[in-house]
Structure formats: structure tokens, C-alpha cells
Structure 1
Amino acid sequence: MESKADVKRRLILDTTKQIILENGFNSLTLDAVAKKANISKGGLLYHFSNKESLIKGLAQYIFEQFCLNFYKYAENDSDDSDEKGKWSRALIEASKFDLEHYKELNVGIFATSYLEPEIAKTISDGYKTTLKKLEDDGINPITATIIRLALDGLYYSQTLNVAPLEEKRVNEVIQQLLEMSKSEERL
């Protein structure tokens, strides 16, 4: 059971996420978060002493949400009775959801992790754990790596707006990656 402090912290982070998604990063202020969350500014400052600590907390929270989705997709995978490729498919599905719903937030996560070594290490360690699942996925490890690198490329392109693909092409790439996860034999 979550403590009252954990519930309030999650409310603050969800509200912060909502403000950014609705109005962009430039609209983020501590006053706006407190008002929208219907809490006092002092209550907000108890959990996050300043805007920087709020953004750091948000970066960690978003990555934790990604990891929870990753495990949820793997748990619900029903494509293969022998489970080959389930972790690769989970990464594909979690990445697809994340790119569709949290593009603006991912920009902030990239910036925060670039500027904050401890956040970068936490995210990197978490991602390494995710990638370890792909290594033991029962499909060709090179195929699993290609899937991972294609997803990394989609994040780079879509999130940083570097020659982003149209939605139709993104969906086609996702479908191809899913097919790769199903048809590969282990070497």
C-alpha cells in the first residue's frame, strides 16, 4: 500500500506530466503544478525543493513508467507459446506507446539525463537491465540488437525532430520489427 507521501508525490509528477503534454515545457512552473494538483506550494516544495528537482523526479518517473509498461507488455504477450521474442516485442510495444504519448516528455528526459550524471546512470542501468532481457529472448541476438537500435533511432528521430518519419512509416517500421521478433530462429 502506498503511503500518503507517495500518493502525493505521484499526483505531483502526473500533474507535471500533464502540464508539459498540454502546454509544453515552457509552461512548467511550480505555481502551475501546485494549482493544477490542488495542493499548496509548500506541499509541493516538501516533495520537490525547486523546479530542477521536479524535472529530475519527472525524468526518473517517466523511465519507471516505461519499465512498468515493458514488463506489462511482456507479461501479456501471447504471440508465441514458447515465448521466443516476447521481450523484443515488449520493448517494441513499450517504445511505440512511449513515442505516441510522451514525445514532449522524452525531450526533457534526454536533456535532464545529459545534464545530470546520476539520472543518466539510473536510466542507463535500467535500460541495460531491459536489454539483458533481449539477449536471452530466444531469437537471434543480432536480430534483437537490430530491433533495439531501430527503436533507438526512432527515439532520436521522433523526439529530437531530426528528419522524423511520418506516422504511417513509423507504424510500418514497428510492424516490421514485430515481424522480425516472431520469425527469427536462434543461432
Structure 2
Amino acid sequence: MVDSPRNRKKQPDVVRQALLDCATRLALEHGLAAVSLQAVASAAGVTKGGLFHHFPNKQALVKAVFDGMMESFDREIDEELERDSGGHGTFTRAYVRTLFADRALNSSPWSAQTMTVLADPYSKNLWHKWINDRLVRHAGTDAGTRLEIVRLAADGAWLAHVLGPDDHTDSGDTAVLKELIELTRRDK
């Protein structure tokens, strides 16, 4: 029997995840402009109506993709926090290491989503809420101007990476990362 939409066992969670995965891949490969509803539906092997069952419009799909990326980024930060020795600058070190690890991979979904954060009010608000919540949670170890400067420098390095040419190599990344991490260990 041929596996067609009519005789396929319905698995809404699997279909939804396939749509999200395809939308993320299209955004990574071609930018957010390539994330059309038809392109995502076709890539996932579902009808456009099937896509509409999960996402009523492109904005809802992009929002869900961004939410998933934020959850993934949050997990990466938590993994770095677990590996850290603790103390002053713990969160900032995890944040910097995660940003630089994603730069080294050169395939982070954040490359495609950075411009969305800058332009889309929902994404911008989600980002600000996330970072503010993290800073409140880690206020005992990560308050202070020096650590804020380190996080801002890491953000700047990330943005320079995203806006740089595709064939650019970040030969100085190791030295910059080392210096930023060193700055997180200084209390004053």
C-alpha cells in the first residue's frame, strides 16, 4: 500500500515537528524570505492545508521556529552552566562560550534568526525577556558592569560573525574567547 495522506496514520506531533524542522532548514539555507508556507509544506511532504492545521499563517510558523530556537539556546546555556566551576561570572561564561561555540559551528540557527530579533517585535521581546530572566536568576554571580561589558562584547562578536562574509574565517576567535572568559573571573 502506498503511503499517501489518505492512508497514512495521523501523527500530528510528528507532522508539526517536521514542519518546524523544514522551516528552520529553509531559513538556515536561504534566509527567512525563503520560508514560504508552500515551500515548508512541500519540504515536509504535507499539503498546505495540513500546514494550516498546525500554523494558521507564516507569522505563527516563524514564531514557533523562534520559540524552538530559544528553547535550544537555553538548553545549551544550561549545559555550559553544568560544566562551569561556579562562582563569579558563571552565567556570563556560559553565555560567551555558547555564542562562540555556535560561531565555530557556523551553522547555528541563530545566524538566520539574528536579523529577525532585530526587526521583529515578538522575537525582540522574547529575547529581552529571556536575557532579563537569566540575569535575575543569576544576579548573585553575574551582576556588575564588567560582566555586562563581556556579554555585550560577545554579542558584538556574534553580530560581526553573522554579518561577515560566508568564507570569512575567525582565526582570532580563540584569543578573543580566552580574554572574555578571563575577564569574567575578575571580581572588580
Q: TM-score range by the shorter chain?
A: 0.7 to 0.9
Q: 1:15 to 1:100 in 2, by over 3 A?
A: farther
> CA offset at residue 157 of structure 1?
1.6
Largest Rg, 1 or 2: 2
> CA offset at residue 7 of structure 1?
4.5
> CA offset at residue 71 of structure 1?
1.2
> CA offset at residue 16 of structure 1?
1.4
Q: Does 1:14 align with 2:14?
A: no
Alignment of 1:68-87 (within 5 A): 68-77=75-84, 80=85, 82-87=86-91
Whole-Å Cα distance in 1 between the matches of residues 138 and 150 of structure 2? 9
Is the CA contact 1:60–1:123 (under 8 Å) kept in the aligned structure 2?
Answer: no
Q: 1:116 to 1:24 in 2, by over 3 A?
A: closer
1:17-43, Cα deviation, whole Å (9 max, x unpaired): 122223444433323322322333222
Alignment of 1:36-185 (within 5 A): 36-77=43-84, 80=85, 82-101=86-105, 105-106=109-110, 108-137=112-141, 141-161=144-164, 166-181=169-184, 183-184=185-186
> CA offset at residue 150 of structure 1?
0.7
**TM-score (norm. length: structure 1):** 0.75
Identity of aligned residues (%): 25
Code of the residue aligned with 1:118 in structure 2: it is Y
Q: Which consecutive residues of structure 2, in runs of 5 or more, have no partner in the other structure?
A: 1-10
> CA offset at residue 101 of structure 1?
4.4
> CA offset at residue 105 of structure 1?
4.2
Code of the residue aligned with 1:67 in structure 2: it is D
Code of the residue aligned with 2:98 in structure 1: it is A
What is the number of equivalent residue pairs in this alignment? 177
What RMSD, in angstroms, separates the aligned Cα atoms of the two structures?
A: 3.0
1:46-87, Cα deviation, whole Å (9 max, x unpaired): 22222233223222222222112111211232xx3x544321
Is the CA contact 2:27–2:112 (under 8 Å) kept in the aligned structure 1?
Answer: no
Whole-Å Cα distance in 2 between the matches of residues 115 and 22 of structure 1? 20
